């Protein structure tokens, strides 16, 4: 783990304006003029965004706001039509996804990608970078990678213990529950030893009991020197663990700030309520929109009481 | 676990080596005749044969055997070893005393009127016989001394290209419809095409006029498609079988069907009893009335199907399913019924394409396999699952196949088309008319 | 019905040169499909490059046998790169179609009149196995009690099974390594592996090349065992049958191709012999109006296709496979 001194969110954001695209005191990720179109539809149109190092930043927005596409662009899984972005001072433009990951920016996926027919332990080992045994010339000769494999396995067990998966190390990942897969995916991402962890809806489909433990894990990441950027729909989660919130709607960033102030922002409420005026909704989508809107209203009510 | 696998491998090496090395010394004790391969070898004729088939491949789809040509074989000293005249299939075989180098000479004066050697200087060919039969080739082709004007050649190829393209479009449309609604890449689609041609042939030889046989064959194709879906594909879809598994199932089906076709019609080329050699209406284009009717009919069917897909309820439902199957199902579309219609219609179109193709270009049991890759090429060019794309792609592919023969040897014309397929996938993998997808 | 020869013939076929050829081809496909999830339908092309690389180099250009083998390997590597560059970024079904098309292109070009002076057109190349023949330690027919082989066949079979044993060892060593783990990860979900910093494209290329080299060895085996290569040897069905071998024995298992090849060729021969005998003679068991002796040889392929379908539907993990480790997402 990068042994940096942990950053106190309160001081990190002192004096940072609560406006879209505001400059941070120590940004780890800076994105500029990122555009992505699908046919005639503009999925992402981000003028400027900085992500503060060492804290947890949430990216929220109604369905179809372009959050996942923005994630894909930043991590090299999609190519923007235009735009520049730098991670830790290094430009990532045009860099393939695997090199983005190696540079220290590792993501998870909205639909969990646990490798079902590999064991939990093998899933974890796969996360380690710079493995000698992953080179074809060394692969056949075990002595060349045995020692490193042992170290990797130890590190993997350490993380599995922390994520309460050690007991399942030799099970196929396919036999895990949905929540456990989320845990595994996050643990596996940590095997890469990232500087920035990008989580795409880490709480989706996780049962309430496991959710608390998952929340705890996310919250503890900055203590190990990592930065977290995550997409989430559950406003309780966002309020609970994030230090800073960025709101996207229709591909743009419309608001930024600490959780409580952002959720009281009129633009944000309008975005959530207005996002689905034209398109017909499925029952689930409708429920979700209403739930989010209610939560935002509740936060606002709290604010006004204060 | 690891130890066991090592032991198995080591054991395998040991057993195999031992099994062969140990008995090697005792083997001579056994009578040689016991080995079945040795017995079989004894049945071969005394001397090796020099053989060949004289075929006019002006139109590779429709090679014509050349009969009555005198072939002579001489040994190295120039002594005549044997001579023979090609039979009705253009076939000749001459026995030679044994291994050695022989000269095979074709008597060009005995070539029938209008047939010429493709390479007029190659009246003899050297054959090195090494104990086995040796095949020699004398390519016979168009009279290159009276080259038709370039414009005429282009026109002629273009006409063939349009005709072939329309037939390919019928087949491609069926494949594309099935892919669009079910996601299945059907490797047995070529066999559906051959099905129409072969059923029509079997009905035709049992006495039915060609047109009636063709009509019944198309109906049979439709039934075949419907039954396949009902008995197989629908069940696999409901079981949740993956698309790759279904793709491999379709390969199994293709292997079976092809063997079955050969079972019923044998290995050689077949023609229908009527319309096999019509006379051209425009001499220069070798365009016949039959071809014009086939083209008009195919075009009419394609237009009718396209209109049906755009306007009818089922057509709209099909496009809805192709767009988003769960949404279509939840909005009250009976997906199974629509897919059954697609299979029935797709198979009927393929069968019709096959019948019309065989009418023009003859048929054999491998017809489907030969066309399959061109159908895929057409469909991918337009973008898998798009209706217009399939037809558009078919025309481009067939025009390319025909016109490319102006610059590359005719034997490689399909090679060029398949090369185009690969280039397209390199530049625009989603096809010309499809969208890119989002990950995550 | 003469059961003795039926049994011995089938046993001979199950371990004979043809089964060996398909086994080696299927070992290559196992790396492609079983472990990496690449649906390569162009294995015939790699075999053709192997066979023709050897045949043309020795016969046309007079290259020494061992050097010719290296030329075959080199050609395979080049083909893998040419084939992989455009296709490895594609969806599975596109990859399948493209590799199938590439194999057909190569077959047509190898057999073309244009290249006849070098490659022998439809007759291909013969008489390049002399080196192997000269090294044959067997002076007489080899009789193993139940089965027997002519000396050259026995020699080819010995070499072939040693090659298979070595190939299995290589595959086993590779697949227990971290390298093999990356391949299996790619098979499951390549985006997940990419997100962990692995160069998925590079690994796929390595897998394609390595599996292709086994295909190339299969091509050598085919050429040497028949002492000839002709373009018709390398038709589309060759790849499909190799897939049958792999799926029958179980994909993603080291010994899957071995089991599959023995079973498949044994079965094909039992069927071929059975129907051959049942339709031969003046008074055949099956009347000629149902099946004549030409048709009898086709029954096994009809059965093979149906068997492949049933296998995929009911036992996609192969006869001895473990469903939990199944390479194919059957559902």
**Separation in Å, CA B264 to CA B83, B198, B261, B356, C298:** 37, 9, 5, 20, 10
Of B51, B94, B36, nearest to C150 by C-alpha is B36
Residue C329 has pLDDT above 70, yes or no: no
Grade residue B22 by pLDDT with cuts at 50, 70 and 90: very low
Do residues A12 and A54 make contact, with C-beta atoms less than 8 angstroms apart? yes
Each residue of C64-86: pLDDT tens digit? Answer: 999 999 999 999 999 999 888 87
- What pLDDT does residue A275 have? 53
pLDDT mean over B101-116: 80
Residue boundaries of the structural domains of chain C: 3-233
Whether residue B248 lies within 8 A of chain C, CB to CB, comes out as yes
| Token pair listed for C54 | 């050897």
Pairwise CB contact (< 8 Å): B439 & C191:
yes
Each residue of A243-301: pLDDT tens digit? Answer: 999 999 889 999 999 988 888 888 888 887 765 544 455 556 666 666 666 666 665 55
- What pLDDT does residue B61 have? 64
Distance from CA of C207 to the nearest CA of A (A): 10
- Nearest-angstrom CA–CA distance, B167 and B349: 9
Q: What is the Cβ-side half-sphere exposure of residue B385, based on CA atoms within 13 angstroms?
A: 19
**Separation in Å, CA A247 to CA A61, A63, A233:** 5, 12, 11
Q: What is the Cβ-side half-sphere exposure of residue B322, based on CA atoms within 13 angstroms?
A: 20
Residues of B in Cβ contact (< 8 Å) with C255: 8
Do residues B415 and B366 make contact, with C-beta atoms less than 8 angstroms apart? no
Residue A1 has pLDDT above 50, yes or no: no
Residue B425 has pLDDT above 60, yes or no: yes
Q: Which residue of A has its CA nearest to B436?
A: A38
Residues of C in Cβ contact (< 8 Å) with B411: 108, 112-114
CATH architecture, domain defined by A19-114+193-305 = 3-Layer(aba) Sandwich (3.40)
Q: Phi and psi at residue B102, in whole multiples of 5°?
A: -125, 155
pLDDT mean over C8-36: 95
Averaged pLDDT score across all residues of chain B: 80
- Would you call C284 helix, strand, or coil by DSSP? coil
DSSP string, C123-150: G-EE---HHHHHT----S-EE-SS-EE-
Each residue of C44-64: pLDDT tens digit? Answer: 999 999 999 999 999 999 999
Residue C34 has pLDDT above 90, yes or no: yes
Each residue of A256-270: pLDDT tens digit? Answer: 999 888 888 888 888
Do residues C25 and C225 make contact, with C-beta atoms less than 8 angstroms apart? no
Residue B422 has pLDDT above 70, yes or no: yes
B9 vs C8, C142, C172: nearest CB: C172
Would the ipTM clear 0.90, i.e. be above it?
yes
**Residue range(s) occupied by CATH 2.60.40.10 in chain B:** 49-145
Averaged pLDDT score across all residues of chain C: 91
Do residues C178 and A123 make contact, with C-beta atoms less than 8 angstroms apart? no
Residue boundaries of the structural domains of chain A: 19-114+193-305, 115-175
Pairwise CB contact (< 8 Å): C178 & A106:
no
pLDDT over 90 percentage in chain A: 55
**Angle value at C-alpha C283, between C277 and C285, nearest 5 degrees:** 50
pLDDT over 70 percentage in chain B: 80
Grade residue B112 by pLDDT with cuts at 50, 70 and 90: confident
- Would you call A59 helix, strand, or coil by DSSP? strand
Pairwise CB contact (< 8 Å): A109 & C192:
yes
Of A3, A1, A4, nearest to A26 by C-alpha is A4
Which of B418, B431, B435, B438 would best serve as a mutation to test chain C binding (most C beta carbons within 10 A)?
Answer: B418
- Would you call B439 helix, strand, or coil by DSSP? coil
Q: What is the Cβ-side half-sphere exposure of residue C283, based on CA atoms within 13 angstroms?
A: 0
Give contacts of C 183-202 with A, CB under 8 A. Answer: 184-185, 187-189, 191-201
| Token pair listed for B151 | 């414009």
R_g over Cα of chain A: 20
Tally of CB atoms within 10 A around C206: 21
Do residues B75 and B46 make contact, with C-beta atoms less than 8 angstroms apart? no
Residues of B in Cβ contact (< 8 Å) with C98: 421-422, 425
Grade residue A87 by pLDDT with cuts at 50, 70 and 90: very high
- What pLDDT does residue B26 have? 36
| Token pair listed for A237 | 């989660």
Residue B301 has pLDDT above 50, yes or no: yes
Each residue of A54-63: pLDDT tens digit? Answer: 999 999 988 8
- What pLDDT does residue B434 have? 55
Grade residue B43 by pLDDT with cuts at 50, 70 and 90: very low
Residues of A in Cβ contact (< 8 Å) with B438: 38, 68-69, 72, 78
- Nearest-angstrom CA–CA distance, A65 and A43: 7
Cα-based torsion angle of the residue sequence A202, A207, A209, A213 in order, rounded to the nearest 10 degrees: -10
Higher pLDDT, A81 or B59: A81
| Token pair listed for A68 | 């996942």
| Token pair listed for B14 | 């040991």
Each residue of C164-217: pLDDT tens digit? Answer: 999 999 999 999 999 999 999 999 999 999 999 999 999 999 999 999 999 999
Each residue of B349-391: pLDDT tens digit? Answer: 999 999 999 998 889 999 999 999 999 988 888 776 567 788 8
- Where helices occur in chain C by DSSP H, the ranges are 3-15, 17-29, 43-59, 65-87, 92-110, 116-119, 130-134, 151-175, 178-188, 190-195, 200-226, 236-249, 256-279, 293-296, 299-314
**Separation in Å, CA B74 to CA B77, B94, B131, B180, C10:** 8, 11, 17, 61, 43
Tally of CB atoms within 10 A around A171: 15
Do residues C55 and C128 make contact, with C-beta atoms less than 8 angstroms apart? yes
Residue B408 has pLDDT above 90, yes or no: no
Pairwise CB contact (< 8 Å): C185 & A126:
yes
Pairwise CB contact (< 8 Å): A77 & B440:
yes
| Token pair listed for A76 | 């090299």
Residue B320 has pLDDT above 90, yes or no: no
pLDDT mean over A79-105: 94
- Domain B49-145 grouped into CATH 2.60.40.2550: no
**B-contacting chains (≥3 CB pairs under 8 Å):** A, C
- What pLDDT does residue B134 have? 77
Domain B150-427 - what CATH class? mainly alpha
- Where helices occur in chain A by DSSP H, the ranges are 9-12, 67-74, 97-102, 120-127, 136-139, 146-162, 178-191, 208-220, 235-241, 259-263, 266-274, 283-305
Residue B249 has pLDDT above 70, yes or no: yes
Whether residue C324 lies within 8 A of chain A, CB to CB, comes out as yes
Grade residue B23 by pLDDT with cuts at 50, 70 and 90: very low
Look at strands A56-60 and B91-95 and give their pairing.
unpaired
- Nearest-angstrom CA–CA distance, A264 and A260: 7
Residue B16 has pLDDT above 80, yes or no: no
pLDDT mean over B342-346: 96
- List residues bridging with C149 in a β-sheet: C142
Per DSSP, which regions of B187-226 are E strands?
A: none
Residues of A in Cβ contact (< 8 Å) with C191: 77, 97, 109, 113
| Token pair listed for C259 | 């089991």
Q: Report residue B11 CA to chain centroid gap.
A: 45
- Nearest-angstrom CA–CA distance, A62 and A233: 8
Grade residue B121 by pLDDT with cuts at 50, 70 and 90: low
Distance from CA of A124 to the nearest CA of C (A): 10
Each residue of B167-212: pLDDT tens digit? Answer: 999 999 999 989 888 889 999 999 999 999 999 999 999 999 999 9
DSSP A36: E
A115 vs C188, C194, C200: nearest CB: C188
């Amino acid at each position: 783990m990068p042994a940096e001194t942990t950053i106190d969110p309160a001081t990190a954001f002192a004096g940072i304006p609560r406006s879209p695209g505001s400059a941070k005191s120590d940004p780890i990720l800076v994105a500029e003029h990122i555009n992505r179109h699908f046919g005639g539809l503009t999925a992402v149109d981000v003028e400027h965004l900085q992500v503060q190092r060492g804290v947890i930043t949430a990216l929220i927005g109604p369905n179809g706001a372009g959050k996942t596409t923005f994630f894909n662009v930043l991590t090299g899984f999609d190519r923007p039509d235009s735009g520049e972005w730098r991670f830790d001072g290094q430009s990532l433009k045009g860099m393939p996804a695997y090199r983005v990951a190696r540079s220290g920016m590792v993501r998870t996926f909205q639909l969990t990608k646990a490798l079902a027919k590999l064991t939990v332990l093998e899933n974890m080992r796969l996360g380690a970078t710079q493995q000698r045994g992953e080179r074809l010339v060394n692969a056949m000769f075990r002595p060349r990678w045995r020692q490193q494999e042992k170290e990797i396995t130890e590190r993997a067990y350490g993380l599995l213990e922390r994520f309460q998966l050690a007991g399942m190390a030799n099970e196929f990942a396919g036999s895990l529950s949905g929540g456990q897969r989320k845990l595994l995916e996050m643990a596996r991402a940590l095997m890469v030893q990232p500087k920035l962890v990008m989580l795409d809806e880490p709480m989706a489909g996780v049962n309430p009991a496991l959710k608390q433990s998952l929340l705890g894990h996310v919250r503890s990441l900055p203590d190990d020197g990592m930065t977290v950027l995550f997409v989430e729909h559950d406003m309780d989660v966002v309020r609970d663990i994030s230090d800073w919130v960025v709101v996207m709607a229709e591909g743009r960033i419309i608001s930024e700030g600490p959780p409580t102030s952002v959720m009281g922002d009129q633009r944000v409420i309008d975005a959530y309520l207005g996002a689905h005026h034209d398109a017909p909704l499925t029952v689930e989508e409708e429920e979700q929109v209403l739930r989010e809107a209610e939560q935002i209203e509740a936060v606002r009510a709290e604010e006004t009481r204060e | 676990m690891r130890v066991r696998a090592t032991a198995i491998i080591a054991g395998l090496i040991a057993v195999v080596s031992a099994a062969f090395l140990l008995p090697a010394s005792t083997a001579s004790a056994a009578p040689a005749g016991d080995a079945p391969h040795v017995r079989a070898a004894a049945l071969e004729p005394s001397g090796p044969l020099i053989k060949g088939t004289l075929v006019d491949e002006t139109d590779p789809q429709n090679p014509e055997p050349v009969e009555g040509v005198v072939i002579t074989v001489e040994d190295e000293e120039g002594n005549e070893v044997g001579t023979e005249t090609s039979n009705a299939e253009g076939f000749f075989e001459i026995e030679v005393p044994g291994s050695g180098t022989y000269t095979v000479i074709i008597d060009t004066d005995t070539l029938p009127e209008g047939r010429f050697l493709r390479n007029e200087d190659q009246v003899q060919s050297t054959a090195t016989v090494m104990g086995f039969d040796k095949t020699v080739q004398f390519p016979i082709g168009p009279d290159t001394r009276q080259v038709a004007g370039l414009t005429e050649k282009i026109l002629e190829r273009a006409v063939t290209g349009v005709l072939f393209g329309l037939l390919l479009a019928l087949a491609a449309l069926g494949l594309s419809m099935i892919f669009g609604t079910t996601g299945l890449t059907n490797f047995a689609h070529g066999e559906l095409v051959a099905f129409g041609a072969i059923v029509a042939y079997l009905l035709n030889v049992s006495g039915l006029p060609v047109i009636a046989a063709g009509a019944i064959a198309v109906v049979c194709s439709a039934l075949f498609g419907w039954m396949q879906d009902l008995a197989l594909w629908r069940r696999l879809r409901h079981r949740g079988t993956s698309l790759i598994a279904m793709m491999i199932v379709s390969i199994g089906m293709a292997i079976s069907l092809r063997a079955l076709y050969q079972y019923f019609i044998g290995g050689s080329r077949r023609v229908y009893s009527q319309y096999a050699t019509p006379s051209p209406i425009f001499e220069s284009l070798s365009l016949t009335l039959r071809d014009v009717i086939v083209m008009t009919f195919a075009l009419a069917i394609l237009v009718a199907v396209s209109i049906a897909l755009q306007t009818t309820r089922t057509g709209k439902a099909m496009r809805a399913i192709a767009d988003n199957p769960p949404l279509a199902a939840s909005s009250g579309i009976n997906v199974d019924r629509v897919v059954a219609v697609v299979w029935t219609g797709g198979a009927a179109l393929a069968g019709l394409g096959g019948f019309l193709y065989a009418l023009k270009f003859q048929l054999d049991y491998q017809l489907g396999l030969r066309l399959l890759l061109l159908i895929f090429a057409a469909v991918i060019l337009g973008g898998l699952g798009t209706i217009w794309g399939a037809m558009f792609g078919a025309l481009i592919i067939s025009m390319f196949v025909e016109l490319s023969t102006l610059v590359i040897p005719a034997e490689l014309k399909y090679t060029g088309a398949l090369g185009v397929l690969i280039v397209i996938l390199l530049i625009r993998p989603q096809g010309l008319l499809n969208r890119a997808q989002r990950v995550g | 019905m003469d059961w003795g020869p039926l049994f011995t013939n089938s046993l001979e076929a199950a371990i004979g040169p043809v089964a060996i050829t398909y086994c080696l081809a299927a070992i290559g496909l196992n790396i492609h499909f079983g472990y990496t999830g690449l649906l390569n339908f162009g294995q015939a092309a790699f075999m053709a490059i192997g066979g023709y690389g050897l045949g043309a180099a020795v016969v046309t250009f007079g290259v020494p046998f061992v050097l010719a083998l290296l030329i075959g390997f080199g050609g395979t590597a080049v083909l893998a790169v040419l084939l992989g560059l455009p296709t490895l970024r594609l969806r599975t079904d596109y990859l399948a179609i493209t590799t199938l098309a590439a194999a057909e292109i190569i077959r047509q070009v190898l057999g073309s009149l244009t290249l006849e002076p070098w490659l022998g057109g439809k007759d291909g190349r013969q008489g390049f196995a002399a080196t192997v023949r000269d090294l044959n330690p067997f002076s007489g027919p080899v009789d193993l009690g139940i089965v027997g082989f002519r000396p050259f066949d026995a020699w080819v079979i010995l070499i072939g099974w040693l090659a298979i044993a070595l190939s299995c060892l290589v595959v086993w060593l590779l697949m227990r390594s971290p390298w093999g783990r990356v391949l299996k990860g790619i098979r499951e979900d390549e985006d997940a592996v990419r997100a962990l910093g692995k160069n998925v494209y590079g690994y796929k290329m390595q897998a394609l090349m390595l599996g292709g080299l086994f295909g190339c060895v299969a091509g050598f085996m085919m050429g040497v065992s028949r002492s000839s290569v002709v373009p018709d040897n390398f038709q589309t069905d060759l790849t499909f049958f190799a897939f049958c071998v792999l799926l029958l024995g179980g994909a993603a298992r080291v010994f899957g191709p071995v089991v599959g090849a023995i079973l498949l060729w044994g079965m094909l021969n039992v069927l071929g012999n059975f129907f051959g005998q049942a339709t031969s003679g003046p008074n055949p068991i099956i009347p000629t109006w149902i099946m004549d002796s030409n048709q009898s040889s086709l029954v096994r392929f009809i059965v093979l296709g149906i068997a492949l379908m049933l296998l995929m539907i009911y036992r996609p993990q192969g006869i001895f496979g473990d469903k939990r480790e199944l390479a194919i997402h059957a559902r």
